[in-house]
Amino acid sequence: MSVTAAAGFQAAGTAAGLKTEGKDLALVVNTGPTRHAAAVFTTNKVAAAPVLWSRQAISDARADAVVINSGGANACTGTEGFQDAHATAEHAAQTLGISAVDVLLASTGLIGERLNMQAVLSGTTTCAEELNDDDAAGAAAAEAILTTDTVTKTAVAHGSGFTIGGMAKGAGMLAPGMATMLSVLTTDAVIDPQDLDAALREATRVSFNRADSDGCMSTNDTVFALASGAHPEADPAGVDLTEFQTALTELCQDLARQLIADAEGAHHQIAIRTVNAATEEEAETAGRAVARSNLFKTAIFGQDPNWGRILSAVGTTDVQFDPMTIDVAVNGIWVCRAGGIGEDRSLVDLSGREVEVVIDLKSGQAEATILTNDLTHDYVHENSAYSS
């Protein structure tokens, strides 16, 4: 399904030769009638060339096409890298008969190396020739954006007069303000550009931004949302924004879960739910501190419900809580009560893949859930061997 589930979109994915094997270049085209677009980018100051390009291109809230490549991030490549991004957009525009400033770009792969531009350009041409609105085309695009991912990540949602389709990649580096995470969301809703932008930001805030695999923020993180207005039963007056927001948020949360489930070398996928926080932001801060504790993450890998490392991580933040009243549960067992020893830790079963940590701050009524994973030998192996 993926990005072609919504009416008004075509896609393709091809093996252009950027990676040693497999598909590595995707094209998504909005055939209208509307071509509204919104985006959320990495806040990393070292932004990749495609991010610099796309920030400019989307400033008018319109986009006709997105070109995404794996097999090279085009980050830390200086002015030459930006020229490569520009050339990619120009080539796509010529091939599709559109304007270059309506072409969005995203790249993923190794940073600090120039792209194989011959592969990018010929792959773009091939994709343009193979554009299709069927399921297979959406699946091919979803496959072409993968790096160390082991499976494609796609999702579809339906609502009153709209469909949303999405694809994402990212299997490591998931992080604050996102992940090396690329995602393209398409919808055939009738929606104003500013409403699309607001909906995307809210959905991202409580989904991709709360998936924190290893605390490292990428140079390339990007989420695009494109709206065609092509749904056969679309309300010309505009989609129900509340219903649309709910559907978009749930779809993004679904994709975020898929990303964490496939994180590099993870043996456990962990949901850290912080409850009774003074504010939602503080709940998020507490959960994120735990999600970034290598000591916590290695303990979970070792199937050790080491709640002291959870308290220690929360204690490094400025979140409101009393160390003498905080409770912590791991997989339903309240191993920490009132900041001290609670139920028998040997009752905690960490043999399964899913882990839920609940941190009760007893400081208010807000809550937030951060998704992360454990730190394993496989993580070290994949990330020490990746470029060599």
- Active-site amino acid positions: 180
Supply the minimum distance, in Å, between the C-beta of residue 151 and its own copies. Answer: 22
Which of 24, 48, 148, 61 lies closest to 105 in space, CA to CA? 48
Which of 245, 264, 282 lies closest to 361 in space, CA to CA? 282
Supply the minimum distance, in Å, between the C-beta of residue 187 and its own copies. Answer: 31
Supply the minimum distance, in Å, between the C-beta of residue 302 and its own copies. Answer: 3
Helices within 177-239 (DSSP H only)? 193-205
Residue 204 structure tokens: 């991202």
- The response to whether 220 counts as a known ligand-binding position is no
State the residues that interact with its own copies by CB under 8 A: 43-47, 73, 75-81, 110-114, 172-173, 176, 214-219, 292-295, 298-299, 301-304, 306-309, 311-317, 321, 323-324, 336, 338-341, 375-377, 379-381, 383-388
Closer residue to its own copies in complex, CB, 154/219: 219
Which of 237, 253, 30, 23 lies closest to 133 in space, CA to CA? 30
Supply the minimum distance, in Å, between the C-beta of residue 133 and its own copies. Answer: 36
Strand stretches in 43-113, DSSP E = 65-69, 103-107
Cα Rg of the chain (Å, integer) = 21
Closer residue to its own copies in complex, CB, 78/97: 78
Closer residue to its own copies in complex, CB, 147/253: 147
- The response to whether 297 counts as a known ligand-binding position is no
Supply the minimum distance, in Å, between the C-beta of residue 108 and its own copies. Answer: 13
The greatest distance separating any two alpha carbons of the chain, rounded to the nearest whole angstrom, comes to: 67
- Give the relative orientation of helices 307-315 and 280-291 as an angle to the nearest 10 degrees: 130
Q: How many CA atoms lie within 13 A of 178 on its CB side?
A: 25
- The response to whether 219 counts as a known ligand-binding position is no
Closer residue to its own copies in complex, CB, 33/315: 315
Residue 270 structure tokens: 């962990």
Supply the minimum distance, in Å, between the C-beta of residue 116 and its own copies. Answer: 15
- The response to whether 147 counts as a known ligand-binding position is yes
Q: With b meaning 16 or more CB within 10 Å and e meaning fewer, what string describes 72-101?
A: bbbbebeeebbebbbebbebbbebbebebb
Task: Say whether the peptide bond before residue 193 is cis (omega within 30 degrees of 0).
Answer: no
- The response to whether 388 counts as a known ligand-binding position is yes
Phi, psi of 224 (to 5 degrees): -110, 145
Closer residue to its own copies in complex, CB, 195/264: 264
Can you say whether residue 294 is alpha, beta or left, with left for phi > 0 and alpha for psi between -120 and 50 degrees? Answer: alpha
Closer residue to its own copies in complex, CB, 110/206: 110
Residue whose entry in the numeric block shows the structure tokens 């998504």: 28
- The response to whether 4 counts as a known ligand-binding position is no
Q: Which residues are annotated as a binding site?
A: 147, 169, 180, 264, 383, 388
Q: Which residues are annotated as a binding site for substrate?
A: 147, 169, 180, 264, 383, 388
